[in-house]
């Protein structure tokens, strides 16, 4: 096999499914836990944290930015749903790319997912520290000193709360997937209740003057806002990382992906509209804990802002838990294929990849402690957009190369929906800062070095091909 062809070798969907059928992971998750997994991973990453970054850029039109980002996510979600039903294994977009676009593209996709999941956990953890301070201020009148509640770039020395919540989530994951799923469902319901409470309170202070000028920076501002808030839609694909722990993955994974995105988009638009209408974009941009700040302005130093801050502390902690879970399962798939060290796919008696989980938790805790929020959010967005773009291409390729493959869900309006999803991903990528592009280029270069230095030679698919040739 030529060098070029070896980079594009595809792992058949049947082989992926066969590998997944012998997984040491336990199939315990039904539709409700899977929906809770995706909603829990998504809801909170943006509306609690990134609204403070996007509102000043887009103005009141940040509501439109959420709709635009949601549309991009929907097209990709439909492609995810078809591939999740066709290739129901752990690994998310990495596994789908392996079945459609070849090993090198799958590696790049998996490397992007490591950036998406790992860095997004760190970003959410940074926002968690902001809400913890809001809660402490409202209850005991004290806050954690800036030196220990912010990273160096934001005026601190080390962000202790951010690192702490990552380590606590790591400890919960080590207890087992069933226990993690229960915690996820409870905290997801709590999160939705807190946001409904916010809308009910904020809408009472709605002023039409806060909505004008609606789009002060025009289309450019809306696009920049959409690129930033796209970070808040990361997580709807979390169910696809649980393909080997779902009881009926072919049926439930597509449903969970689409249901979770619909729920999250509706909540985001409502909360953004109520927040901007109540206090204006200027107030929202003053603090990482933008929603708690908004309620404090609306109600004074009263109990509503304390309730919201308490809910956010618990809810954002659940996002850290779920996204860490997704990160570890993607590493399991890449390790099982031989592209990463085998210890990352070994599980203990609780059916947990313990070594993998500890390594991920430690690395993410360090990132959360020392890197500023805005840099983390944008680095996450570009990794996600690349992965989503590859999923949209993958569903087109699989329809053409494997039309006979059983599909429990079929993306409607083919090929227009995947093409639109791909176009929107490209459009949003070009709305990101040059520094984000540079960070992504460096990350990709490191990933290619790891692949050619380690993964390509140890790939199990490569060994299978060589043995067959011999």
CATH assignment at residue 442: 1.20.1740.10
Whether residue 2 is contained in a domain is answered as no
Predicted pLDDT of residue 25: 66
Q: How many domains does the chain have?
A: 1
Whether residue 13 is contained in a domain is answered as no
Whether residue 335 is contained in a domain is answered as yes
413: region left, alpha or beta (phi > 0 left; psi from -120 to 50 alpha): left
Predicted pLDDT of residue 449: 93
Handedness of CA 330, 335, 337, 340 (dihedral sign): positive
Predicted pLDDT of residue 416: 93
Please give the distance of CA 87 from its chain centroid, rounded to a whole number: 20
Predicted pLDDT of residue 448: 92
Whether residue 11 is contained in a domain is answered as no
Whether residue 341 is contained in a domain is answered as yes
CB atoms inside a 10 Å sphere around CB 470 = 5
Q: Can you read off the two tokens belonging to residue 165?
A: 């919540």
Predicted pLDDT of residue 417: 92
Predicted pLDDT of residue 139: 78
Predicted pLDDT of residue 464: 62
Torsions phi, psi for 29 (to 5 deg): -100, 125
Whether residue 17 is contained in a domain is answered as no
Domain that holds residue 37: 32-469
Q: Can you read off the two tokens belonging to residue 242?
A: 């649980």
Angstrom distances, CA of residue 256 to CA of 347, 351, 385: 26, 23, 20
Whether residue 211 is contained in a domain is answered as yes
CA distance 258 to 236: 8
Predicted pLDDT of residue 374: 61
Predicted pLDDT of residue 395: 92
Are the C-beta atoms of 53 and 374 separated by less than 8 Å?
Answer: yes
Q: What is the mean pLDDT of each run of 10 residues along the chain (470 residues)?
A: 64 71 68 83 69 80 86 84 79 82 88 78 74 77 78 75 88 79 80 86 86 84 81 74 75 85 87 85 69 75 73 79 83 87 84 87 85 63 82 91 84 91 84 79 89 87 59
Closest among 198, 319, 191 to 270, alpha carbons compared: 198
Whether residue 1 is contained in a domain is answered as no
């Amino acid at each position: 096999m030529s060098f070029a062809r070896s980079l594009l070798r595809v792992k058949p969907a049947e082989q992926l499914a066969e590998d997944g059928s012998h997984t040491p992971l336990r199939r315990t998750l039904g539709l409700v836990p899977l929906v809770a997994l995706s909603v829990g991973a998504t809801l909170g990453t943006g509306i609690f944290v990134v609204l403070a970054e996007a509102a000043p850029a887009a103005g009141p039109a940040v509501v439109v930015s959420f709709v635009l980002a949601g549309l991009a996510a929907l097209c990709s979600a439909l492609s995810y749903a078809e591939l999740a039903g066709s290739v129901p294994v752990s690994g998310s977009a990495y596994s789908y790319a392996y079945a459609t676009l070849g090993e090198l593209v799958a590696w790049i996709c998996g490397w992007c997912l490591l950036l998406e999941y790992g860095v997004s956990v760190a970003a959410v953890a940074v926002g968690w520290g902001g809400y913890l301070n809001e809660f402490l201020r409202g209850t005991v009148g004290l806050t954690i000193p800036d030196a220990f509640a912010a990273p160096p770039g934001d005026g601190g020395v080390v962000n202790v709360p951010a690192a702490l919540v990552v380590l606590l989530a790591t400890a919960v994951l080590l207890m087992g997937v069933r226990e993690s799923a229960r915690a996820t469902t409870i905290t997801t319901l709590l999160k939705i209740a807190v946001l409904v409470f916010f809308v009910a309170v904020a809408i009472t202070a709605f002023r039409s003057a806060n909505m004008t000028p609606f789009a002060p920076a025009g289309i450019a501002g809306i696009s920049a806002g959409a690129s930033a808030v796209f970070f808040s839609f990361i997580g709807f694909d979390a169910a696809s990382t649980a393909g080997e722990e779902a009881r009926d993955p072919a049926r439930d994974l597509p449903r969970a992906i689409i249901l979770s995105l619909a729920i999250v988009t509706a909540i985001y638009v409502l909360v953004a509209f109520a927040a901007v209408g109540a206090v204006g974009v200027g107030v929202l941009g003053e603090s990482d804990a933008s929603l708690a700040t908004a309620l404090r302005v609306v109600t004074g130093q009263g109990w509503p802002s304390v309730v919201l801050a308490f809910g956010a502390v618990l809810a954002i902690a659940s996002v850290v838990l779920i996204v860490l879970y997704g990160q570890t399962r993607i590493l399991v798939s890449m390790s099982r294929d031989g592209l990463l060290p085998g210890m990352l796919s070994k599980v203990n008696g609780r059916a947990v990849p313990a070594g993998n989980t500890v390594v991920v938790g430690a690395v993410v805790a360090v990132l959360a402690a020392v890197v500023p929020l805005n840099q983390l959010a944008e680095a996450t967005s570009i990794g996600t957009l690349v992965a989503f773009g590859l999923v949209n291409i993958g569903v087109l390729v699989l329809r053409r190369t494997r039309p006979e493959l059983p599909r429990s869900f079929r993306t409607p309006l083919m090929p227009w929906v995947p093409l639109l999803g791909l176009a929107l991903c490209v459009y949003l990528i070009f709305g990101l800062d040059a520094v984000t592009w540079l960070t992504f280029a460096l990350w990709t270069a490191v990933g290619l070095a790891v692949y050619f230095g380690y993964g390509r030679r140890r790939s199990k698919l490569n060994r299978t091909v060589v043995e067959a040739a011999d």
